[in-house]
Structure formats: C-alpha cells, structure tokens
Amino acid sequence: RKEVEQDPGPFNVPEGATVAFNCTYSNSASQSFFWYRQDCRKEPKLLMSVYSSGNEDGRFTAQLNRASQYISLLIRDSKLSDSATYLCVVNKGDSSYKLIFGSGTRLLVRP
Amino acid sequence: DAGVTQSPTHLIKTRGQQVTLRCSPKSGHDTVSWYQQALGQGPQFIFQYYEEEERQRGNFPDRFSGHQFPNYSSELNVNALLLGDSALYLCASSARITGTDYGYTFGSGTRLTVV
C-alpha cells in the first residue's frame, strides 16, 4: 500500500464548478498535512496546510479526518488558473522530518 | 528574500557518467531535502541534510550521495547514471526548528536527461 494515495484524475470541470479531491495516508503517527499545487514542468508550491479543525483560504477548503486517515481539498468557483496538479503531502510521523508526497490529482478547468 | 535556487536548470548526460546538482536554501533555512520526480509521479524523497550530515535517507541506491556545506548549501551527486535516473530533481529547504510544521519550500528543479 502506498503511504499517500490520491486519485490521479484528471478531473475535467467547467469554470465555476466546485470540485473535491481526496487523499488517504497510511501512517497514523503523521502530524503535518499539506496540499501543494504543481503547474506543468514547475516546482510544487505550498497551497495550504491542513488542520484537524479544517481550514479555509478563499475558495479553497481543506479538511482532515484523523480517524479515517483521510484528507480532502474543496475548490469552489473554479477558475481556469486553477488547472494544475494537486499533491497531497504528509509528514512521515514518528519524529521524522520527511515529507511524503502523493502522486497528485490533475485538475483541468475548461471555459 | 532569495528563495531556493538550484543549478543547473537542465542537464543532458550519457549513461555511466556522473552528475552533480547544486542547491542554495532559502534565507533562514538550514535543512535541505532532495527529491526525485519522474514524469507523472509525485516527488520521491532521496535524502535530507542538516548540520552537514545526512539525517534521513529514502529508498535510493548508494549511487546517490550528497553533501551539505557550512553555509547550508547542498549538492546531490549521482554516479553511474542509468536511463531511469532521468527526472526532475527538486531541492527543498526548511528550518530544523520548525521541522515539517510549515512544509518545505522548493527550488525550480534540475531536469536531468540521461541518454
């Protein structure tokens, strides 16, 4: 089983749509959770951290369910510029300093 | 405030050759992690350096080695290159004191092609 699993997509949605991505992780000791965004042939960039209480940043909402070891990202009112790959990222846990990346979910927003 | 800088941006090497990639971390960061990203995959952890020592290592062979200098910059060396080593190599920096609390900051990467 992969340490971090994501649906690769692609998710093809019209502008203005709401889209949700899910991610599961295997290590219950993980303590830090993130969503990164990666544009084609560019480096990953931090989109947002994910907290147990859930957090929102504009059109983006992230949720964490520790019991189910599940992370989600919701994008409302999708823009063309949201087209990218979204990477679910988890720290290894057990006092590890290592971040583990999922394979990413590709989003295509069409006019 | 300079972010993470990597060099070179692109590189073409022949099988069996050796390559050295370089990274300067973001100002205020003292920890450098290296990742390999193959096409269509997420970044895979190679190793992490702190205080000039390798602190953690992923599932990569000994052909992959690294170094960290007193100014926190780092090098990734790959010996006996294989075609399968073709990938985007990403350097990520962070501060030891915050660990993974705030994620990593990535450089723009070195795209290595082995022919």
| Beta-carbon pairs below 8 A across chains A and B | 65
Cα(B109)–Cα(B115) distance, integer angstroms: 19
- Can you give the pLDDT at residue A95? 64
Selection from A81, A67, A60, A83 nearest residue A9 by Cα: A83
- Mutant choice from A33, A39, A43 vs B, greatest count of B C-beta within 10 A: A43
Note whether A26 and A3 are within 8 A (CB): yes
Q: Is A25 an interface residue toward B (CB < 8 Å)?
A: no
Cα(B74)–Cα(B49) distance, integer angstroms: 8
**How crowded is the C-beta side of B15, counted as CA atoms within 13 Å?**
4
Cα(B2)–Cα(B23) distance, integer angstroms: 12
Subunit contact B100:A87, Cβ cutoff 8 A: no
- In tens, the pLDDT along A6-62 reads 999 999 999 999 999 999 999 998 889 999 999 998 999 999 999 888 899 999 999
Token representation of residue B27 = 């100002």
Q: Which residue has the higher pLDDT, A94 or A109?
A: A109
Q: Is A102 an interface residue toward B (CB < 8 Å)?
A: yes
Q: Is A89 an interface residue toward B (CB < 8 Å)?
A: yes
Subunit contact A43:B104, Cβ cutoff 8 A: no
Phi, psi of B34 (to 5 degrees): -115, 140
Subunit contact B103:A32, Cβ cutoff 8 A: yes
Subunit contact B100:A100, Cβ cutoff 8 A: no
Average pLDDT of each block of 10 consecutive residues along chain B (115 residues)? 90 98 95 95 95 93 97 97 98 87 91 98
- Can you give the pLDDT at residue B101? 80
Selection from B9, B4, B3 nearest residue B89 by Cα: B9
